Amino acid sequence: MTTALSENTLFGMGNPLLDISAVVDKDFLDKFGLKLNDQILAEEHHKALFEEIVQKKKVEYHAGGSTQNSVKIAQWMIQEPHKVATFFGCIGTDRFGEILKKKAEEAHVDAHYYEQNEEPTGTCAACITGDNRSLVANLAAANCYKKEKHLDLDSNWELVKKAKVYYIAGFFLTVSPESILKVAKHASENNKIFCMNLSAPFISQFFKEPLMKVMPYVDILFGNETEAATFAKELGFETDDIAEIAKKAQNLPKENTKRQRMVVFTQGKDDTVATVGEKVTRFPVLDIDQNDIVDTNGAGDAFVGGFLSSLVKEQAVEECIRAGHYSANVIIRRVGCTFPEKPDFQ
């Protein structure tokens, strides 16, 4: 059954970043102390990295930021009506900020940015080596999001209230945990669906306290195998079995008992693991020839986007995962989190 969707049904809030992606070699990674397939926040010694990467011969600029990618993909999968997806985040009053606004508009996402001029629009260097990618995020403006200056404004909070499904990547825990809590509590008190992502190992390691403050309000928890393992270690689960980790995460304390928490862990080319009721089920991903993989950056965001597009239509978890696998499969064949004009998903 598919209900006709209305505008602003899906709400996302996070760090809007402009991705600067380029193919680099191992020496480049070593020079800046980067690991394959990692995501980190930029530090002082990464300044030169941003100066160097823009000089690379095949540098590409794409609108990015984990949550923004996911809501864009969800909107792309939904197609009509436009603006089913809403996005909040902070940008600078500069050229990169203008690009992000234009890209959100082209994707038919209803983006409401908090704009400030103290910090420039955030960027993320995506250093691609073969089918691996190492991400270094320079949050800048994204880090300046203020609850009282934006989320709390009546016109903005009205948009939050219109939504039925909420998605915030764990990355935003480093910026405005109080904004996340306000949205999460609203969802919980009104029996709506609040989704979160573990996002990166460093979130569980260094932002465990804000993460665990939000956890009781989380209806659907996403993550990949590495993030799941780190989360389990930080919480003392004493297991590295992904199905067991999913089960233990599902059973963490929860505020709204009307909805059982669902945990969904992707594992690259291996099966996606999800809690379906009391059991943990494995869902094989779509086959893809290694040679067709252009860039795995954005695969996780795309999976969530596809999943959310079916979730807002109130479809079963199996359908949501099928949609997630489809969109991830499309995205990894392209550079950046970009997509063809229309999905070919039945």
Task: Give the residue numbers marked as catalytic.
Answer: 301
Q: What is the DSSP letter of 42?
A: -
**Axis crossing angle, helix 317-331 with helix 66-78, rounded to the nearest 10:** 110
Which residue, 27, 32, 35, 29, is CA-closest to 44?
32
Which residue, 205, 208, 222, is CA-closest to 274?
222
**Count of CB atoms within 10 A of residue 269's CB?**
15
Structure tokens at 273: 């693991």
User: Alpha-carbon distance 235 to 238, whole Å?
Assistant: 8
Structure tokens at 304: 């969530």
- Strands 85-92 and 279-283 come out as unpaired
Alpha helices in the chain (DSSP H): 26-31, 47-53, 66-78, 95-106, 154-162, 177-189, 201-206, 208-214, 225-234, 242-250, 299-311, 317-331
DSSP-assigned beta bridge partners for residue 41: 137
Residue 33, burial from CB neighbour count under 10 angstroms (0-12, 13-18, 19+):
exposed
DSSP-assigned beta bridge partners for residue 271: none
User: Alpha-carbon distance 312 to 188, whole Å?
Assistant: 16
User: DSSP string of 216-262?
Assistant: GG-SEEEEEHHHHHHHHHHTT-----HHHHHHHHHTS--S-TTS--E
